[in-house]
């Protein structure tokens, strides 16, 4: 029996168990008129029974499915001819892959030997037995769960509390998935980064001013010294983010102030969604807009003024990234400005302040913590942005403060390091993890600062 | 008599709601009974005059043909059941209703013979001349000093720090708050107690030397003791300012005001000296409201 069929069967069983539990509780209470004698309403007894039917069985299904593969492979190996069993582990792995492919009807890498054929047959029959065994065991557990729950049902059983307890555990489980995933990603990046720091000294990575991640594939290869100084990358990231924020913060803030304080409600109803459309444009579209439209434009303007502009410039990438971030700044600021109580505005207008005085002296200071928080979130967004920079800012790791030159960023380098044919244990690919870790730390710090600022000053006007 | 307990007010409010909720037809009948304003709405020395004032929220008419004078150095209280338009009328007097998009005002309101709804009228100096104190204390999230200095600063009333210090001190003294806060002027205004906050707001209003002060239920968020202090303050402020106060508490109206205007369903029903209104109301609706027969 397929695991999916089994799960569907279990669900049906749970539905039946629900009915059983409910009827049973009514019967135990002594008919529908005596429901008051029950601790919980009958449907909770139904849920209780259904949980007993489904939960233990589902846990068994999960565990079984997780362990069955290895267990069967072990059995198959134990039954193989000695000459195959004595193969070195990598070769045995390949051989077993062939066996599985043959069993599942896929293409096999070499010729099919009788031993392979016999192994595959054995594998198939073991799988079928295991599936059948699982179905039987699981269904028995489910039915046993139902009968156990039915026996437990009595007017004193606190079914509602039990059911709510299970629901609570389920909620905790779901919320911990996000946390555990984050933790997993961080740890895997961290371990790879540690491997990288075993090859390249810590100090060289942090304080090196040269980035040229070419490691030799063969020992006699020339021109591949490999320099892993992250400073040019972070400088490039900072430069582009700075340009982006110079564009996004004033424009975003002003549009937020217009929308929340000056615009009529009809204007606001149209303008706000229109502005937020900017946030919905895929960054790759921004990327080719930057590379094909803005970068040549910047170069032409620069050259007409007698400046030397690279065709892929930090300025072009930063400008477009700034446009992309405008909705973040404006939307968050707009919310914060709207959250300033009307009574503050009334108070200010009440002593004869004009609209602009009210905004600059009362509303803006009151909303500042939230605005700063929004801007910091936008900065983390800018630092993590990749596509625009890949397309418009170039790949050369120049250490420069000149926005007209081409620079590269941390994220772009991560992409280029991991694209292409490389061993996954060379310093070159592992450098991506070290960069990723640094990037993660920087954005994490920014987010923590943002949250802290917002929380610290939030209650001021309440 | 400062024991206008909160309970009483709550009871009254509940009564109003139940009356309005259930007896809609009853109120409709009463609307016909209102007729022209009873009593003399003019005074000898008016500071503000309102003639034929109507206020519309979109199509709904909230105020109907109200004529009323506000006399110099007097306190006039506007009373009436919830939703009768007394706060709306008050907010017309310094054009605070302008901040509401859908609100439209017709008729004529004059401050010292100047029509405040004239196209040439600038609301900024108007609101400095006609200040407002709100229902809930709303100090800025700034220091006590900055709360007071805000108005004088935007109007350029003080040229030096000393002048500003003096304005702050005088305003706080007049609001009866100076002794309590003089040693902590740089602390946040929001850290004061509710009653102190409301007096701070009053000080902020008088810091720009207005001629008229409008108060929209200034004590409804305060406890009885703070209420008594603010009421005493209102009585003192009368020497320097003209005051119009909206209140739900009839005891408060009787204590602080010299004239009383009773509003009902957007109309001014009766106006007259406070002691006459409370001892000898002419209009049946006024009598019913004052004796607590309905909300």
Q: Are B154 and A265 a contacting pair at CB < 8 A? A: no
Residues ≥6 apart with Cβ < 8 Å to A262: A355
HSE-up of A69 (CA within 13 Å, CB side)? Answer: 7
Rounded to the nearest 5°, which phi and psi values hold at A321? -65, -40
Taking CA–CA distances from A342, the nearest residue in chain B reads B138
Which candidate from B99, B133, B190 shows the least CB-CB separation from A461?
B190
Taking CA–CA distances from B126, the nearest residue in chain A reads A352
| Chain A residues near residue B150 by CB distance under 8 angstroms | 348, 351, 353, 361-362
Q: What is the pLDDT of residue A372?
A: 86
Q: What is the pLDDT of residue B6?
A: 41
| Total of domains in chain B | 1
Which residues are registered as beta bridge partners of B272? B260
Rounded to the nearest 5°, which phi and psi values hold at A67? -100, -20
Which candidate from B128, B141, B190 shows the least CB-CB separation from A351?
B128
Asked whether residue B48 is assigned to any structural domain, the reply reads: yes
Asked whether residue B159 is assigned to any structural domain, the reply reads: no
| Chain B residues near residue A370 by CB distance under 8 angstroms | none
Nearest Cα to Cα of residue A130 among A65, A63, A34, A33: A65
Query: What is the rounded distance in angstroms from the CA atom of residue B284 to the CA atom of residue B262?
Result: 12
Residue A95 CB neighbours (<10 A): 20
Which residues are registered as beta bridge partners of B242? B212
Domains of chain A: 3-157 (no CATH), 227-461 (1.10.3720.10)
Cα B62-B63-B64 angle, rounded to 5 deg: 125
Query: What is the rounded distance in angstroms from the CA atom of residue A353 to the CA atom of residue B153?
Result: 10
Asked whether residue B97 is assigned to any structural domain, the reply reads: yes
CB A353 within 8 A of CB B152: no
Q: Looking at per-residue confidence, does A188 or B15 come out higher?
A: A188
Given a cut of 80, whether residue A284 has pLDDT beyond it is yes
Tell the residue number behind the tokens 């990575």, with chain if given: A205
Query: What is the rounded distance in angstroms from the CA atom of residue B287 to the CA atom of residue B278?
Result: 8
The Cα of A339 is separated from the nearest Cα of chain B by a number of Å equal to: 14
Window 259-288 of A, Cβ < 8 Å to B:
264-265
User: Which tokens is A233 given?
Assistant: 């990358």
Q: What is the pLDDT of residue A227?
A: 80
Rounded to the nearest 5°, which phi and psi values hold at A246? -60, -35
Q: What is the pLDDT of residue B32?
A: 58
Q: What is the pLDDT of residue B13?
A: 40
Q: Looking at per-residue confidence, does A123 or B243 come out higher?
A: B243
Q: Are B131 and A350 a contacting pair at CB < 8 A? A: yes
Per-residue pLDDT of A317-355, as tens digits, reads 999 999 999 998 998 899 889 888 888 999 999 888 888
Asked whether residue B14 is assigned to any structural domain, the reply reads: yes
CA distances from A86 to A11, A69, A91, A111, A440 (A): 46, 21, 10, 20, 46
Of A68-77, A161-170, B215-224, the least confident: A68-77
Asked whether residue B217 is assigned to any structural domain, the reply reads: no
Query: What is the rounded distance in angstroms from the CA atom of residue A8 to the CA atom of residue A24?
Result: 24
Q: What is the pLDDT of residue A222?
A: 61
User: Which tokens is A33 given?
Assistant: 């008129």
Asked whether residue B276 is assigned to any structural domain, the reply reads: yes
Q: Looking at chain B, how many residues does it have?
A: 295
| Chain A residues near residue B134 by CB distance under 8 angstroms | 343, 346-347, 350
Highest average pLDDT, of A15-19, A263-267, B5-9, B15-19, comes from A15-19
| Chain A residues near residue B138 by CB distance under 8 angstroms | 341, 343-344, 346-347
Does the CB of A366 have a partner CB in chain B at under 8 Å? yes
The domain containing residue B116 runs over which residues? 1-121+245-295
First to last CA, chain B: 21
Taking CA–CA distances from B151, the nearest residue in chain A reads A351
Q: Are A347 and B208 a contacting pair at CB < 8 A? A: no
Residue B182 CB neighbours (<10 A): 13
The Cα of B105 is separated from the nearest Cα of chain A by a number of Å equal to: 18
User: Which tokens is A276 given?
Assistant: 């937020």
Nearest Cα to Cα of residue A246 among A335, A314, A332: A314
Nearest Cα to Cα of residue B197 among A244, A347, A206: A347
Query: What is the rounded distance in angstroms from the CA atom of residue B26 to the CA atom of residue B174?
Result: 46
Residues ≥6 apart with Cβ < 8 Å to A186: A440
Highest average pLDDT, of A3-12, A75-84, A87-96, comes from A3-12
Q: Best residue in B99, B122, B140 to probe A by mutation, most A CBs within 10 Å? A: B140
Q: What is the pLDDT of residue A225?
A: 63
Which ipTM did the prediction report? Answer: 0.81
Which candidate from A264, A347, A352 shows the least CB-CB separation from B134?
A347
Query: What is the rounded distance in angstroms from the CA atom of residue A146 to the CA atom of residue A141?
Result: 9
CA distances from B31 to A220, B21, B263 (A): 103, 16, 11
Asked whether residue B195 is assigned to any structural domain, the reply reads: no
Considering Cα of A41, then A44, then A49, then A52, what sign does the dihedral take? negative
Query: What is the rounded distance in angstroms from the CA atom of residue B285 to the CA atom of residue B263?
Result: 10
DSSP codes, chain B: -----HHHHHHHHHHHHHHHHH-HHHHHHHHHHH-SPBS----SSEEEEEEEEEEEETTEEEEEEEEEEEETT-EEEEE-STTSSHHHHHHHTTTGGGGSTTEEEEEEEEETTEETTSTT--HHHHHHHEEEE-SS----SSBHHHHHHHHHHHHT--SSHHHHHHHHHHHHHHTT-HHHHTT-TTSBGGGS-HHHHHHHHHHHHHTT--SEEEEESTTTTS-HHHHHHHHHHHHHHTTT-EEEEE-S-HHHHHHH-SEEEEEETTEEEEEEEHHHHHHS--SHHHHHHHTTS--
Given a cut of 70, whether residue A457 has pLDDT beyond it is no
Q: What is the pLDDT of residue A131?
A: 86
Q: Looking at chain A, how many residues does it have?
A: 462
Cβ–Cβ pairs < 8 A, chains A and B: 75
Q: Are B141 and A343 a contacting pair at CB < 8 A? A: no
By the 10 Å C-beta count (0-12 exposed, 13-18 middle, 19+ buried), A120 is classed as: buried
Q: What is the pLDDT of residue A211?
A: 84
First to last CA, chain A: 62
Taking CA–CA distances from A356, the nearest residue in chain B reads B154
Asked whether residue B87 is assigned to any structural domain, the reply reads: yes
CB B143 within 8 A of CB B185: yes
3-state SS, one letter per residue, for chain A = CCHHHHHHHHHHHHHHHHHHHHHHHHHHHCCHHHHHHCCCCHHHHHHHHHHHHHHHHHHHHHHHHHHHHHHHHHHHHHCCCHHHHCCCHHHHHHHHHHHHHHHCCCCCCCCCCHHHHHHHHHHHHHHHHHHHHHHHHHHHHHHHHHHHHHHHCCCCCCHHHHHHHHHHHHHHHHHHHHHHHHHHHHHHHHHHHHHHHHHCCHHHHHHCCCEECCCCCCCCCCCCCCEECCHHHHHHHHHHHHHHHHHHHHHHHHHHHHHHHHCCHHHHHHHHHHHHHHHHCCHHHHHHHHHHHHHHHHHHHHHHCCCCCCCCCHHHHHHHHHHHHHHHHHHHHHHHHHHCCHHHHHHHHHCCCCHHHHHHHHHHHHHHHHHHHHHHHHHHHHHHCCHHHHHHCCCCCCCCCCCCCCCCCHHHHHHHHHCCCCCCCCHHHHHHHHHHHHHHHHHHHHHHHHHHHHHHHHHHHC
Q: Are A353 and B140 a contacting pair at CB < 8 A? A: no
| Mean pLDDT score, A386-410 | 83
Considering Cα of A430, then A436, then A438, then A444, what sign does the dihedral take? negative
The series of mean pLDDT values per 10 residues for chain B, 295 residues long, is 41 40 42 72 88 89 90 92 88 87 88 88 88 91 92 90 93 90 90 90 92 91 86 90 91 91 89 90 87 70
Give the pairing of strands B130-133 and B212-216.
parallel
Taking CA–CA distances from B135, the nearest residue in chain A reads A343
CATH no. for residue B73? 3.40.50.300
User: Which tokens is B1 given?
Assistant: 């008599």
């Amino acid at each position: 029996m397929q695991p999916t069929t089994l799960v569907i069967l279990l669900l049906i069983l749970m539905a039946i168990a629900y009915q059983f539990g409910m009827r049973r509780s009514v019967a135990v209470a002594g008919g529908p008129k005596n429901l008051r004698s029950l601790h919980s309403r009958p449907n909770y007894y139904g849920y209780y029974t259904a949980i007993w039917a489904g939960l233990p069985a589902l846990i068994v299904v999960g565990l079984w499915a997780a362990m069955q593969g290895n267990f069967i492979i072990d059995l198959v190996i134990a039954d193989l001819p000695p000459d195959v069993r004595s193969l070195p582990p990598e070769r045995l792995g390949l051989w077993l892959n062939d066996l599985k492919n043959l069993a599942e009807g896929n293409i096999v890498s070499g010729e099919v030997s009788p031993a392979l054929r016999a192994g595959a047959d054995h594998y198939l029959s073991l799988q079928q037995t295991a599936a059948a065994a699982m179905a039987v065991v699981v269904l028995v557990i489910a039915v046993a769960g139902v009968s156990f729950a039915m026996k437990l049902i009595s007017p004193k059983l606190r079914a509602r509390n039990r059911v709510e307890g299970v629901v609570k555990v389920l909620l905790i489980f779901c919320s911990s998935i996000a946390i555990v995933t984050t933790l997993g990603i961080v740890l895997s990046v961290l371990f790879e980064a540690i491997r990288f720091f075993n090859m390249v000294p810590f100090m060289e990575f942090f304080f090196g001013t040269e980035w040229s991640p070419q490691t030799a594939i063969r020992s006699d290869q020339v021109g591949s010294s490999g320099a892993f100084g992250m400073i040019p990358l972070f400088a490039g990231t900072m430069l582009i983010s700075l340009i982006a924020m110079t564009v996004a913060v004033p424009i975003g803030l002003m549009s937020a102030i217009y929308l929340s304080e000056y615009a009529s409600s009809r204007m606001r109803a149209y303008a706000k969604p229109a502005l937020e459309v900017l946030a919905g444009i895929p960054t790759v579209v921004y990327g080719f807009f930057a590379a094909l439209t803005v970068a040549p434009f910047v170069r032409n303007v620069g050259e007409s003024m007698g400046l030397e502009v690279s065709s892929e410039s930090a300025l072009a990438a930063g400008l477009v990234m700034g446009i992309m971030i405008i909705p973040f700044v404006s939307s968050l600021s707009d919310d914060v400005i709207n959250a300033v109580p009307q009574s503050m505005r009334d108070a200010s207008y009440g002593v004869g302040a004009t609209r602009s005085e009210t905004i600059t002296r009362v509303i803006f200071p009151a909303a500042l913590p939230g605005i700063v928080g929004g801007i910091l979130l936008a900065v983390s967004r800018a630092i993590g942005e990749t596509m625009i920079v890949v397309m418009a800012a170039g790949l050369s790791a120049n250490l420069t403060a000149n926005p007209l030159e081409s620079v590269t960023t941390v994220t772009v380098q991560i992409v280029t390091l991991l694209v292409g044919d490389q061993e996954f244990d060379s310093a070159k690919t592992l450098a991506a993890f070290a960069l990723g870790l640094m990037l993660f730390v920087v954005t994490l710090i920014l987010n923590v600062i943002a949250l802290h600022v917002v929380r610290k000053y939030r209650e001021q006007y309440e | 008599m400062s024991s206008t307990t909160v309970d009483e007010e709550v009871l009254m409010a509940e009564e109003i709601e139940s009356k309005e909720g259930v007896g809609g037809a009853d109120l409709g009948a009463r609307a016909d009974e209102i007729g022209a304003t009873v009593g003399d709405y003019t005074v000898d020395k008016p500071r503000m005059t309102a003639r034929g004032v109507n206020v519309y929220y979109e199509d709904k008419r909230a105020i109907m043909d109200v004529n009323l004078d506000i006399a110099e150095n007097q306190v006039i209280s506007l009373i009436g059941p919830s939703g009768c338009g007394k706060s709306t009328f008050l907010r017309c007097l310094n054009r605070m209703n302008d901040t509401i998009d859908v609100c439209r005002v017709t008729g004529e309101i004059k401050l010292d013979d100047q029509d405040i709804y004239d196209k040439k009228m600038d609301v900024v100096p108007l609101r400095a001349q006609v200040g407002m104190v709100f229902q809930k204390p709303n100090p800025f999230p700034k220091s006590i000093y900055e709360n007071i200095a805000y108005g004088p600063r935007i109007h350029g009333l003080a040229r030096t720090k000393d002048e500003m210090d003096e304005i702050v001190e005088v305003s706080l003294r007049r609001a009866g708050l100076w002794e309590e806060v003089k040693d902590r002027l740089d602390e946040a205004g929001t850290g004061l107690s509710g009653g102190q906050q409301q007096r701070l707001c009053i000080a902020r209003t008088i810091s720009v030397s207005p001629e008229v002060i409008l108060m929209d239920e200034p004590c409804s968020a305060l406890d009885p003791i703070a209420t008594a202090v603010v009421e005493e303050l209102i009585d003192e402020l009368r020497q320097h300012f003209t005051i119009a106060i909206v209140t739900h508490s009839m005891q408060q109206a009787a204590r602080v005001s010299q004239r009383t205007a009773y509003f009902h369903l957007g109309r001014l029903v009766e106006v007259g000296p406070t002691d006459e209104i409370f001892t000898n109301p002419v209009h049946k609706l006024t009598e019913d409201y004052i004796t607590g027969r309905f909300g």
